[in-house]
Chains A and B, each alone.
Chain A
Amino acid sequence: MQKNKQQQLQNIWDVAGAPLNPDHIDMEKALKRVMHHVKPTIWYQTPFFVYWQRSAAILLLPLLLGSLYLALSAKRNQTAPQPTPPALLEISTPYGTHIKMHLPDGSSAWLNGGSHLKYPATFAPGKRTVLLCGEAYFEVRSDPNNPFIVQTKGLEVEATGTAFNVEAYRRDSLVTVTMAVGEITVRIAGPTPPIAMKPGERMAYNLENKRYNIQSTDAYKWYAWKDGLIVFRDDPLEYVFKKIGQTFNIEIEVKDSSISQHLYRATFEDESMDEILRLLAMSAPIRYKYFDRKKGEDGHYLKQRIEVYRD
């Protein structure tokens, strides 16, 4: 602790009295010097673009020759054995949180609580495939030659440049896909032909009876979680509690069927679970019964359980 304090004092002292003026440090010049030393194996698009602008005319010929060579060598390589698939990276989120991440192709993904996403460090040409367990919202960078594919249990979603939400939690028998922007194709395992979906549509696929239906919906409410919101729009109370339970990994059961179908409208922003439950109880005739968390056989605590009764 003492050492910590000493360091903080020193840190403030250093920053307050830096002996150099930061404006006199020429970062661009230094970068040029260092980049001279760097021999990249991958170039980013930006430096290449700048380079291209400066010397478009000179580059044209070598570029043509280059692409010719690539085209020819690609043909020759067609018979070569397929390279082994690259190792997958995995990202997991704890319950009650959500994160935003960037995929190697420049697409963005928001991962909701209690989810896992696997993706390769670099996408192989042809297909950009990721594996999802749980819920995620994707904003896919447009690239028609390399379709973006989300594989999840029971189905896969193919997109080129779109935004959509996929919900496929392990213990749920329902997988849903909600479209925000663009076009996607959903392929269900088995003989069902591919299904094209448009913005504002939501598909629910039942893994048990292998049936699906598509409805028009207010798409945002299904992926508002990515902005820290939980949105309900005339949803039955039973669903409201299921969603809250899923978000915070607790078990909530509505014990009185006369209230379970009450419709509810609300938007919660970055609220804690206790606060949400309190607000719900203020606006609906309900009360809660909390159960102590029990220890399971392996010593771990089981999920908190809450029952909801009519007040």
Chain B
Amino acid sequence: MPTKAETYRIDVIMQENHLLVGLKQGDAGIFSFLFKTYYKDLVLFGSTYIPEQTLCEDIVQSVFMKLWDDRENLHIETSLKSYLLTAVKNSCLDEIRHRNIVKEHQSHALAFHQQADIDTENYVLYSDLRRHLEESLALLPPLYREAFEMNRFGGLKYKEIAAKLKVSERTIEVRIGKALLLLRQHLKDFFG
């Protein structure tokens, strides 16, 4: 007997084939279903490259329009999700090159995305990961969690957190780093 997860996975693959066939035939219902499913996650993904909402929304909308215009010649070797993520990533990188803002924008995320090419097939979307992430955060030692949340959710810089908690900046760096490693440990199975 297949496990529930295996059955589900086969179901997803089949559904994806069905969606692609419909899309190629020009089924607007399937197109809007895909849009509803992926739009927010793709905008959020784009914002890790360029943290500007309007621009990211424009990019994702163009990606979808292109998906529609090219639907008959669409050649997807991996998955729709991976195809869409790659398209958004490439548009964002084009935009960054275009603006030549690389040097001014040394956020951690940007630095990473530039050096390592991400594997879109195995990238987990915001809406899939978020809930599990919250469960894992609850399992962290309180000090690590506090620093991590102040930085990631509160948007405070390491320096500001250090001042608030009256510890050194280096301590904050260590706590956040450890929090991240522990989170990955908790979520390891989820990444598959």
- Please report A residues at the B interface, Cβ cutoff 8 Å: 3-20, 22, 24-25, 27, 30-31, 33-35, 37-38, 40-47, 89, 91, 96-102, 104, 121-122, 228, 247, 270-272
The listed residue (A3, A46, A101, A272) touching B11 by CB distance below 8 A is A101
Q: Which residues of B contact A122 (CB under 8 A)?
A: 25
Tell whether A98 pairs with B2 under 8 Å between CB atoms, given A12-B183, A121-B21. Answer: yes
Known contacts A12-B129, A20-B51; 9 additional CB pairs below 8 A are: A11-B124, A12-B133, A12-B180, A25-B39, A25-B44, A30-B57, A44-B27, A97-B7, A102-B18
Q: Which residue of A lies closest to B26 (CB)?
A: A41
**What is the CB-to-nearest-CB distance from B11 to chain A, in angstroms, rounded to a whole number?**
6
**What is the CB-to-nearest-CB distance from B138 to chain A, in angstroms, rounded to a whole number?**
13
**What is the CB-to-nearest-CB distance from A10 to chain B, in angstroms, rounded to a whole number?**
5
Q: Which residue of B lies closest to A272 (CB)?
A: B1
| Distance of A71 Cα from B126 Cα, bound (Å) | 50
| Distance of A114 Cα from B34 Cα, bound (Å) | 31
| Distance of A114 Cα from B64 Cα, bound (Å) | 38
| Distance of A117 Cα from B84 Cα, bound (Å) | 30
Whether A31 and B36, one on each chain, are in contact in the complex, defined by CB atoms closer than 8 angstroms, is yes
Whether B14 and A91, one on each chain, are in contact in the complex, defined by CB atoms closer than 8 angstroms, is yes
Q: Check B91 for interface membership: any CB of A closer than 8 A.
A: no
What are 17 A-B residue pairs whose CB atoms fall within 8 Å in the complex?
Answer: A10-B109, A10-B113, A10-B116, A11-B123, A12-B133, A14-B44, A17-B155, A18-B48, A20-B44, A25-B53, A30-B57, A30-B60, A33-B61, A38-B28, A44-B27, A100-B11, A228-B1
**What is the CB-to-nearest-CB distance from A212 to chain B, in angstroms, rounded to a whole number?**
31
| Distance of A41 Cα from B27 Cα, bound (Å) | 6
- Please report B residues at the A interface, Cβ cutoff 8 Å: 1-4, 6-7, 10-11, 14-15, 17-18, 21-22, 25-32, 35-36, 39-40, 43-45, 47-48, 51, 53, 56-57, 60-61, 64-65, 68, 108-109, 112-113, 116, 118-119, 122-124, 126-127, 129-130, 133, 148, 151-153, 155, 180-181, 183-184, 187-188, 191
Q: Which residues of B contact A89 (CB under 8 A)?
A: 17, 21
Whether B43 and A20, one on each chain, are in contact in the complex, defined by CB atoms closer than 8 angstroms, is yes
Whether A42 and B26, one on each chain, are in contact in the complex, defined by CB atoms closer than 8 angstroms, is yes
Whether A7 and B11, one on each chain, are in contact in the complex, defined by CB atoms closer than 8 angstroms, is no
Tell whether A16 pairs with B26 under 8 Å between CB atoms, given A3-B116, A22-B40, A102-B18. Answer: no
Whether A99 and B10, one on each chain, are in contact in the complex, defined by CB atoms closer than 8 angstroms, is yes
**What is the CB-to-nearest-CB distance from A44 to chain B, in angstroms, rounded to a whole number?**
2
| Distance of A227 Cα from B124 Cα, bound (Å) | 29
Tell whether A22 pairs with B44 under 8 Å between CB atoms, given A10-B112, A99-B11, A100-B11. Answer: yes
Tell whether A8 pairs with B25 under 8 Å between CB atoms, given A15-B130, A17-B153. Answer: no
Tell whether A19 pairs with B61 under 8 Å between CB atoms, given A13-B180, A272-B1. Answer: no
The 9 nearest A-B residue pairs measured at CB? A44-B29, A40-B28, A41-B26, A19-B51, A17-B152, A16-B152, A97-B2, A42-B27, A14-B48
| Distance of A96 Cα from B64 Cα, bound (Å) | 39
**What is the CB-to-nearest-CB distance from A275 to chain B, in angstroms, rounded to a whole number?**
9
Q: Which residue of B lies closest to A23 (CB)?
A: B40
Whether A47 and B3, one on each chain, are in contact in the complex, defined by CB atoms closer than 8 angstroms, is no
Q: Which residues of A contact B109 (CB under 8 A)?
A: 10, 13-14
Whether B1 and A40, one on each chain, are in contact in the complex, defined by CB atoms closer than 8 angstroms, is no
Tell whether A27 pairs with B39 under 8 Å between CB atoms, given A41-B25, A97-B10, A101-B11. Answer: yes
Q: Which residues of B contact A16 (CB under 8 A)?
A: 133, 148, 152-153, 183
| Distance of A25 Cα from B35 Cα, bound (Å) | 13
Q: Which residues of A contact B64 (CB under 8 A)?
A: 34
Whether A15 and B29, one on each chain, are in contact in the complex, defined by CB atoms closer than 8 angstroms, is no
Whether A27 and B36, one on each chain, are in contact in the complex, defined by CB atoms closer than 8 angstroms, is yes
Whether A15 and B126, one on each chain, are in contact in the complex, defined by CB atoms closer than 8 angstroms, is yes
Q: Which residues of B contact A24 (CB under 8 A)?
A: 53
Whether B57 and A37, one on each chain, are in contact in the complex, defined by CB atoms closer than 8 angstroms, is no
Q: Which residues of A contact B1 (CB under 8 A)?
A: 96-97, 228, 247, 270-272
The listed residue (B6, B18, B25, B116) touching A6 by CB distance below 8 A is B116
Q: Which residues of B contact A38 (CB under 8 A)?
A: 28, 31, 65, 68
Q: Which residues of B contact A19 (CB under 8 A)?
A: 47-48, 51
Tell whether A18 pairs with B133 under 8 Å between CB atoms, given A9-B184, A35-B28, A270-B4. Answer: no
Whether B151 and A17, one on each chain, are in contact in the complex, defined by CB atoms closer than 8 angstroms, is yes
| Distance of A68 Cα from B108 Cα, bound (Å) | 64
**What is the CB-to-nearest-CB distance from B34 to chain A, in angstroms, rounded to a whole number?**
11
Residue among B3, B10, B17, B61 with the most chain A CB within 10 A?
B10
Q: Which residues of B contact A44 (CB under 8 A)?
A: 27-30, 32
